[in-house]
Every structure is written in structure tokens, then in C-alpha cells.
Amino acid sequence: MPQRKKGENEDMDKVAIYPGSFDPITYGHIDIVERALEIFDKVIIAIAHNAEKRSLFTVEERLEMVRAVFKDTPNVITDSFKGLLVDYVAKTNAKVILRGLRATSDFEYEFHMASMNRSLNSHLDTLFMMTSKDYFFVSSRTIKEVASLGGAVEGLVPDLVVRRLKEKFKLPVTKQKQIGWDD
Ligand code: ADP
């Protein structure tokens, strides 16, 4: 089969949508995106406007951070959406929803969501990628909790996110108290 050059016919691109809150983006998310790029030509990170979830960062702030993280990766597109995910997906050429799985606790919710999305659009599949061993304990929620108490989150989120967290929690940007996970 003749090889197709990247970007030659975008309709034939294998595209995945990675939806979520990304409040804020962590290395757990980034790891999933990087691994997905081995399978897909393009990954669309879709930040959900979710009125029911209290967020630390506005959708605009989250978009800005995700865009900065992937500024040198043109096959990662960052967008936001309101309403049903299946309606947003229909406006793109993606056929797959990408989600990360951490522990069994993620499974039940993810299983329900994937089943519901498939019932809303039977052409749509959800692909789950298992978390990496280095990030199985990393969630945006715990990152926010630890950062709000002055704990170090370096190495778990990109430096620009560390800075934004410190600004939000009004912590000094240079000196941060180191606390253990059991404190
Ligand atoms: P949501 O608010 O929809 O749960 P999140 O922003 O928390 O979205 O996460 C988006 C997706 O990334 C979810 O599928 C979640 O399970 C996954 N994810 C989050 N953190 C990690 C991690 N450390 N390793 C693997 N997947 C993760």
C-alpha cells in the first residue's frame, strides 16, 4: 500500500478526542496523550465546560496551560466544548474517545460513560489507556489539595502549572514547604 504523507489527506487521519476537566493538566494526562500519539495521527484535547463541577482554573486558564504544554506538538489540538460530548465529537472527524484509567475506582464511572456515549452514537468507541506506574496516584484533585497546603507537586505537573498553582494559592513562587503524602 502506498504510504500517505502526514497531513496529505486529513479526512483519512486517525483522530482521537481526549475529553476531561484538566483542572489542571498533569503528567498523568500528558503521558496518555503522548502514548496515544503512537496510535493516532491527531489527538484533540477537549476541555469540558461543566457547570456542576467546581473548578479551580477557568476553562480559558486551562486551555492556555494545555496549549503551552503542547506548543511544539502540532498534532495535538486543544479545544473546549459545552453540552454533550457526542455532539462535540460529531463536529470533528474523530471516531474514538480516549480516556485514561487509573484504578478500579475509575472503572465503574468510565464504564457507564462509555456505554452511555455508545448508546447515543453507536459509531463511537471509547479507548482506555492504563495509567503509567509513575502516575497512577496523580489526579488533578489531589494535585490541587496538596498544592493548596503548600506541598510540592513538582515532577507531577509541568513547571508552568506549578507556577499557576502557586499564584492561585498565593504561595511564594521560589520557596515551598515539602510535605509527605501521609502528613
Ligand atoms: P474528568 O473530570 O472527566 O474525570 P480529568 O481531567 O480528571 O477528567 O481526566 C481526564 C481523563 O484522564 C480521565 O479519563 C481520567 O481518568 C484520565 N486521567 C487523569 N489522571 C490520570 C493519570 N494520572 N493517569 C491516567 N489517566 C489519567
Count other Cβ atoms within 10 Å, centred on residue 62. Answer: 26
pLDDT above 70 for 183? no
Pocket test for ligand 1, best of 54, 131, 153 (most atoms within 8 A of CB): 131
Ligand 1: centre distance to CA 178 (Å): 25
Which atom of ligand 1 sits closest to the CA of residue 99?
14
pLDDT at 113: 95
Overall size of the chain counted in residues: 183
The tens digit of pLDDT for each residue in 20-54 reads 999 999 999 999 999 999 999 999 999 999 877 88
pLDDT above 80 for 144? yes
Ligand 1: centre distance to CA 159 (Å): 19
pLDDT at 104: 79
pLDDT at 50: 85
Burial label for 86, CB within 10 Å (0-12, 13-18, 19+), is middle
SS3 29: helix
CB contact at 8 A, 49 and 82: yes
User: For all residues of the chain together, what is the average pLDDT?
Assistant: 89
CB contact at 8 A, 178 and 151: yes
Q: In this predicted model, which residue has the larger pLDDT, 63 or 2?
A: 63
CB contact at 8 A, 32 and 100: yes
Q: Where are the alpha helices (DSSP H) in 37-137?
A: 59-69, 85-90, 104-120
pLDDT above 60 for 5? no
CB contact at 8 A, 33 and 66: no
CA distances from 8 to 3, 11, 152, 170 (A): 10, 9, 44, 48
Query: Which protein residues touch ligand 1 with a CB less than 6 Å away?
Result: 20-22, 26, 28-29, 32, 99-100, 102, 106, 131, 135, 138-140
Closest Cα to atom 2 of ligand 1? 21
The tens digit of pLDDT for each residue in 46-100 reads 999 987 788 999 999 999 999 999 999 999 999 999 999 999 999 999 999 999 9
Count other Cβ atoms within 10 Å, centred on residue 39. Answer: 13
Residues catalogued as catalytic: 29, 53, 102, 140
CA distance 79 to 12: 21
Ligand 1: centre distance to CA 131 (Å): 9
